[in-house]
Amino acid sequence: MRSSNSLRKTYGETLVELGKENKDIVMLEADLGNSTMSGLFLAEYPERYFQVGIAEQNMASVGAGLALAGKIPFINSFAVFASGRAYDQIRSSITIPNLNVKICGSSAGLSDFGDGKTHQSVDDIALMQVLPNMTVLSPVDAVETEQMVKAMVEGSGPMYLRINRNDLPVVTDPSEPYYIGKMTKLREGSDVVVFATGIMVQQSLEAAKILEDEGISIRVINVSTIKPLDVEQIIAHTEGMKGVVTAEEHSVIGGLGSTIASALSKSRLPIELLGIQDQYGTSAENYEILLQAYGLEPSDVASRVRSVLEA
Amino acid sequence: MTYSTQLIKDLRYKAITVRENILRMIPPGKVGHLGGSSSIADVMAALYFHKMNVNENDPKDPTRDRLIMSKGHAVLVQYACLAELGYFPKEELDKVKTYEGMLQGHPDMDRTPGIEAVTGSLGQGLSVSLGLALGLRLDKSESHVWTILGDGELAEGQIWEAVMASAVFKVDNLTAIVDFNEVQATSSTKEIFPIPNLPEKWASFGWNVIEIDGHDMGQILKAIDEATAHKGKPTVIIAKTVKGKCFPFAEGKAKYHNAAMDEAEYQTALGCIAKMREEVEK
């Protein structure tokens, strides 16, 4: 069990641990290893650490080649570059042949607050989940990050892991077994179900407290496997509810919200999609300013819940 | 290094059969990449029928050498070699690019035994080959990785990322072969996108560079042996070739990058095969 609240530190440390037993794990780096924390691998296993320079496209295809040789390559960059800069390489070299390449998109969403729109990913979930064969994971905390990294090593096929730069409080139970596709109910409620991913799970749990004082009860579901999405569970969680809210730190186009909305296309419940509204990020002094500016605070979740109840 | 007259004769004969198999895949009226498949046919024959350790009875034999067709559109020449070796029945050649066949328009490792990767989106094969070479080296494998690049393909920026990285990682179990036919999809490379001083470019990036006539079997054999013998850095063989080689109506013509022959052209092409066989047998 990890005491750290850092997802990226946990990511790097978990791979160092797993790399001790599993000699097939190899790490690929495009000069951001100090941020993604994949750089921790270098000190322990220099022969299995490949610094390719600032060349994400090459990194993705080299990863494909390593997978062809039976290795389990993890390729690392900021989410925006890991998914977008190397998109066709991921498509052609990795997902068409369904190769066992793991991609870590770090500093996802707006969490790289200072660097601005070129470095903030509002579109990585959309880009990755549209690719056939790709699994898309979005952990809620460090505990789930560790579980996911283990599952990524054990499972085969291309997988994309989206993790935040900032720390997040632990909200999951490390003693609970994990599997890819798992969906966790973190709070029971009776009026509205909120499907959230990443930092928005935490925001939704905070929103639940605000709403409780108003006599509104929400069920909060951590959807950390965005693809493959467990549609049956999604539908089951909406039963008896008066409305649905989705919450993500990503564009509402092509992300968790639109995927759940299409999964619920036969539902008569009102659905509100909370997320980034078809726009890019921007620089700020800190992350909190951006969460406020882009409407990703607990109060925003609360207002969307009220809104579906009024619908 | 010297090579017996018999070996050279045998491989020249194989190269003719490879070209005959290419023709079988694109009968009159069927569109296919004749030009870039014929230009590299002699090199491919030397690799598949002499140099490479491959096993048609166990296509996934871990000790095999690998060939990645980065210029994936010219996969017809690879199908021609694999069929000749017995990786799949020759009847499959008649079904290339059909819904029921196993031979896709571009290389597909899941559908076709002997195909090692998915290529076709140009510029990625050298990077994939580098990853493969690094993985094989970690396993202390003796296998060698061969990558076939088009000269038009060299405009893709990722090629040069991989060229730099291969030198950094000193992969001497990787050889790139540039099919330097100087014609790309719509016109000559000189007209579309000239890349001057190609040998000097590769050398300055840290590669061992060998230049050959890509239709001279003696030169091909010597170059591929030198490539695997050279240690400490990757080797590139720049093979000067003729697009559409052996088919006079197609030689050096961008039109036959991807085109259908008419009946008269096809008969001419078959005539060329017969004539070449006679010449080799003399």
Question: Going from the N-terminus, what domains does chain A have, and what CATH number goes with each?
Answer: 7-162 (3.40.50.970), 183-310 (3.40.50.920)
At residue B156, the pLDDT reads 97
pLDDT at residue A117, as a whole number = 96
d(CA B201, CA B197): 6
A29 vs A76: CA distance, rounded Å = 6
For position A48, what pLDDT does the model report? 98
Looking at every residue in chain A, the average pLDDT score rounds to 97
Cβ–Cβ contact B140 with A under 8 A = no
The values of phi and psi at residue A58, to 5°, are -60, -40
Dihedral angle of Cα A153, A53, B230, B143, to the nearest 10 degrees: 10
* CB of A29 closer than 8 Å to CB of A49: yes
Over range A189-193, report the average pLDDT: 98
| Residue A126 pLDDT > 80 | yes
Q: Is B150 helix (H, G, I), strand (E, B) or coil?
A: strand
Tens of pLDDT, residue by residue over B206-238, are 999 999 999 999 999 999 999 999 999 999 999
What is the CATH T-level fold of the domain B5-281, as seen in this structure? Rossmann fold (3.40.50)
B143 touches chain A (CB under 8 A): no
Q: What local confidence, expressed as pLDDT, does residue B1 receive?
A: 73
d(CA B135, CA B143): 11
> Which residue's entry shows tokens 């000193």?
B170
Report the b/e string of A81-94 with b at 16+ CB within 10 A.
bbbbbbbebbbbbb
Mean pLDDT by 10 residues, chain B (282 residues): 94 98 97 96 98 97 98 98 98 97 96 97 98 98 98 98 98 98 94 96 98 98 98 98 96 94 97 96 84
**A83: its two tokens:** 């998914």
ipTM of the complex in this document: 0.96
CB distance B162–A64 less than 8 Å? no
Which chain A residue's Cα is nearest to B65? Answer: A69
pLDDT of residue A311: 84
Of A26, A62, A73, the CB nearest to B130: A62
- How confident is the model over A236-260, as a mean pLDDT? 98
A1 pLDDT more than 80: no
Helix or strand run (H / E) with residue A303: helix A298-310
pLDDT for residue B282: 82
Residues A52, A236: Cα–Cα separation, whole Å: 46
CB contact under 8 A, A65 and B124: no
Mark yes or no for CB contact A26/B135 under 8 Å: yes
CA B134 distance to own-chain centroid: 22
Instruction: Tell me the C-alpha distance between B117 and A256, whole Å.
Output: 32
Contact A194, A204 (CB under 8 A): yes
Instruction: Answer yes or no: are the C-beta atoms of A195 and A237 closer than 8 Å.
Output: yes
Tokens 């935040």 correspond to A164
Tell me which long-range contacts B261-264 makes (C-beta under 8 A, separation of at least 24): B261/B26, B261/B28, B261/B29, B261/B34, B262/B28, B262/B29, B263/B28
Q: Do the beta carbons of residue A186 and residue A171 sit within 8 Å? A: yes
Q: Is the pLDDT of residue A83 over 70?
A: yes
Measured between CA atoms, the residue of chain B closest to residue A93 is: B118
Chain A residues with CB inside 8 Å of B176's CB? none
Contact criterion met (CB < 8 Å) for A93 and B136: no
Local confidence band at A23 (pLDDT 50, 70, 90 cut-offs): very high
CA distances from B207 to B62, B175, B182, B204 (A): 27, 10, 21, 7
Q: What is the pLDDT of residue B143?
A: 98
Mutation choice for B interface testing from A58, A77, A93, A156 by most B CBs within 10 A: A58
Distances (CA, A) of A57 to A54, A76, A118, A132: 9, 12, 17, 19
Closest CA to A101 of A144, A167, A49, A156: A156
How far apart CA A283 and CA A287 sit, in angstroms, is 9
Strand ranges inside chain A, DSSP E: 25-29, 49-51, 72-78, 102-106, 135-137, 159-162, 183-187, 192-196, 218-223, 225-227, 243-251, 271-276
A48 touches chain B (CB under 8 A): yes
Q: Are A58 and B162 inside 8 Å of each other by CB?
A: yes
Residue A4: pLDDT band (50, 70, 90) is confident
pTM: 0.97
Place of tokens 């096809």: B266
Closest CB to A92 among B118, B130, B162? B118
Q: B128: nearest CA in chain A? A: A65
Interchain contact, B139 vs A70, CB within 8 Å: yes
What is the rounded distance in angstroms from the CA atom of residue B205 to the CA atom of residue A155? 38
Closest chain B residue to the Cα of A57, Cα to Cα: B158
Closest CA to A152 of A236, A27, A32: A27
Structure confidence at residue A2 as a pLDDT band (50, 70, 90): low
- Bridge partners (DSSP) listed for residue A161: A104, A137
The set of catalytic residues of A is: 56
Please give the C-alpha separations between residue B276 and each of B20, B25, B246, in angstroms, as whole numbers: 11, 19, 8
Task: Give me the residue spans of the domains in chain B.
Answer: 5-281
pLDDT for A5 equals 94
